[in-house]
Structure 1
Amino acid sequence: MKRIGLFGGSFDPVHNGHLEAVNSFLDSGLIDEIWILLTPVPPHKTDQRKTDFEHRYNMLKLAFQESDNTKISDIEKDLPKPSYTLQTIHHLKNQYPDYTFFLCLGEDSLQSFHKWHKYDQILEECTLMVVDRPGSDHSGVGSEILEKTIFVDHKPMNISSTEIREAPDSFALMNLPDEVQNYIQKNNLYTDSR
């Protein structure tokens, strides 16, 4: 029975912080593989302009091409929009009934998890796995969520995709895998101010 971590996001663009989080999830020893799910249109970001799905998918493949036990998935592209996590989990559990799934989150996502669509039903379907920032305070997170959460040791990087989109040149060298940086330059992504 395989144990699979699900790590979703818009990855616009994928950066080294995402890679480090994936490494921390895998290093926990709690999962056999991590599936990185590219979200076409996150429900909470419908008003934001998004880089083309294929570009984001290609960057993910480049970023994780040397990583073991990772799989880049575009299944949410073919599911009804918006891309609700519960819908994706139901789809995967129907496809892989013998697998156990964990929902992998950053600590910032845990803080807002109670606002997710039908979050209580997500908790019924799978356990949360959260990369924990040193000294994090989880006092604002409901007990019903914490009871279904496993915290994983992690040393976070202080970078976000938003910062890279807004100032790609200054952040690229430090915070992007080389292949992703080259892809962005080759395809003239993030050249206009957002």
Structure 2
Amino acid sequence: MKNIGLYFGTFNPIHIGHLIIANHMVEYSDLDEIWMVVTPHNPFKKKNSLLDNHHRLDMVYLATEEYEKIQPSDIEFRLPQPNYTINTLAHISEKHPNYTFSLIMGEDNLKSLHKWKNYEAILEDYNVYVYPRVSEGIVENQFKNHKKIHRVDAPIVEVSSTMIRNAIKEEKNCKPLLPFKVWKYIDEMNFYKK
């Protein structure tokens, strides 16, 4: 049975940090594939700051097309909004009964996991793979020794989509922080310039 890691994000835009983490997770854990789940609306983010769903999905396709074990997913586009992770997990598990699904998240998200809708059910039925974040420090909470939480010693990448959007707005060269085809797409579409 394939073990699929679900890496949720608005990917506004997807950048090299996302790819480094996804690739490390699939190469250095027991995950067989990573699905980059493009989130149409994160309940904790303002919707008006997001590019249209199809543009963010297109960028994830462009960024992952050369990675055999990393796939884009628009599964949440067809679910009621705003959506919650527990709903997506139930839907995707029902749709793909021959796969095992796990969550991938940064240590910063682990700190707030107890605020997620039905987080207890998530931890009962799904494994969570956590990558470190320098700015957040070590999580010392109720999840420290949880049997479903697996810390992966992934490279620490301090690149953010917010930083990239701001750099583009300020007319800075951020080409090294983006997969080339994503940078080209953003440049040709004049995204994030205002």
Output the TM-score relative to the length of structure 2: 0.91
1:77 lines up with 2:48 in the alignment = no
Task: Summarize the Cα distance change of 1:28–1:49 in structure 2 as closer, same or farther, 3 Å threshold.
Answer: same
Q: Provide the C-alpha distance between the structure 1 equivalents of 2:165 and 2:117, rounded to a whole number of angstroms.
A: 27
Distance change in 2, residues 1:173/1:47 (3 Å)? closer
Residue in structure 2 matched with residue 137 of structure 1 by the alignment? 138
* CA offsets 1:20-57 (integer angstroms, 9 cap, x no match): 11011111231111111000001111455211111101
1:45 counterpart SS class:
coil
Q: Distance in 2 between matches of 1:158 and 1:29?
A: 21
Question: Is the 1:105–1:130 Cα contact (8 Å) retained in structure 2?
Answer: yes
Give the structure 1 partner of residue 192 of structure 2. 190
- 1:112 maps to a residue whose letter is S
Residue of structure 2 in register with 1:110 after alignment: 110
Moved more, 10-19 or 28-37: 28-37
Q: Does 1:41 align with 2:41?
A: yes
| 1:19-168 equivalence runs, <5 A | 19-46=19-46, 48-133=48-133, 136-139=137-140, 141-143=141-143, 146-168=146-168
Unaligned runs of 5+ in 1: none
| Secondary structure, aligned partner of 1:94 | helix
Distance 2:139 2:145 in 1: 10
Runs of 4+ in 1 over 4 A off after TM superposition: 133-136
Q: CA deviation at 1:125?
A: 2.1
Q: CA deviation at 1:136?
A: 4.2
Whether the 8 Å contact between 2:143 and 2:149 is mirrored in structure 1 is no
> In the alignment, residue 61 of structure 2 is paired with which amino acid?
K
Give, in whole Å, the separation in 2 of the partners of 1:29 and 1:10: 24
Is contact 1:2-1:100 (8 Å) kept?
yes
Pairwise CA distance, 1:165: 1.1
- Report the alpha carbon displacement of residue 100 of structure 1 after superposing the two structures with TM: 1.1
**Stretch of structure 1 that moved more, 160-169 or 7-16:** 160-169
In the alignment, residue 88 of structure 2 is paired with which amino acid? Answer: T
Residue 174 of structure 2: aligned partner? 172
Of 128-137 and 102-111, deviating more is: 128-137
Relative to 1, partners in 2 of residues 1:171 and 1:18: Cα closer, same or farther, differing over 3 Å? farther
Contact 1:133–1:154 (Cα < 8 Å) also in 2: no
Quickly say closer, same or farther: Cα 1:176–1:30, change in 2 above 3 A: same
